[in-house]
Amino acid sequence: MTRQKILITGASSGLGEGMARAFAAKGRDLALCARRLDRLDELKTELLERHPGITVAVAALDVNDHDQVSKVFAELSDELGGIDCVVVNAGIGKGYPLGGGKLWANKATIETNLVAALVQIETAMEMFRAAGTGHLVLVSSVLGNVGVPGHKAAYSASKAGLTSLGESLRAEYPSGPIRITVLEPGYIESEMTAKAGNPILMVDNETGVRAMVEAIEKEKGRSVVPGWPWWPLVEVMKLLPPRLTKRLA
């Protein structure tokens, strides 16, 4: 099934922006939201110039403003005449070693990547249940498969929680009518990974986004992206003793 009307959160940069460009090139109509409305307006102009046959709706949204999530999703749905697919992508990578005196950084990561994601999931599922169909995509991380010490402890925990929510929904809807996809990106070039320095096995944004969009279009249940080299690495990561996982940070 081709989902024509796609909503993406965190669409003003990084993987969200990349997915918006990729879906626009496929002729999909887009509902894009993020905190930085000026960036979204620029992206909308670019996409409509390149692909004049599509519809692009944008809205400012801080996913931590929980009351606004349902309101913005509804407004964007009205603009597009419905939403077929919601990509829960908004996230941050703040963090500090646990007990290091920066609770605010770890708390912000858990709240944005997991609690706010739950709000988006609840909102999307309500929309899809009312429509009788839909596709929910959760952008997790390969680091959700293993505990990572130091400044990525809260991040990996938040992504483990998000993956677990997705797996619970996959168990609830094993054959539709609502489809669930859990994406586990490896290190893909973006603003977030740029702030983290130069992690091992980084792939460029275009390569990573292409793999993500392909998995979304195929409505895979759970997908490590890009598959090579990250799929076999994820299996190895699950077996690593805790003292070795620090190399992933």
Distance, CA of 47 to CA of 56 (rounded, Å): 8
* Alpha-carbon radius of gyration of the chain: 17
Name the pairing type of β-strands 29-34 and 222-225.
Answer: unpaired
The torsion of the CA quartet 157, 160, 162, 163, rounded to 10 degrees, works out to 170
Contact 108, 29 (CB under 8 A): no
Point out the residues that are catalytic: 155
Distance, CA of 192 to CA of 159 (rounded, Å): 15
Main-chain dihedrals φ then ψ at residue 58, nearest 5 degrees: -130, 155
Q: Give the single-character DSSP code of 151.
A: G
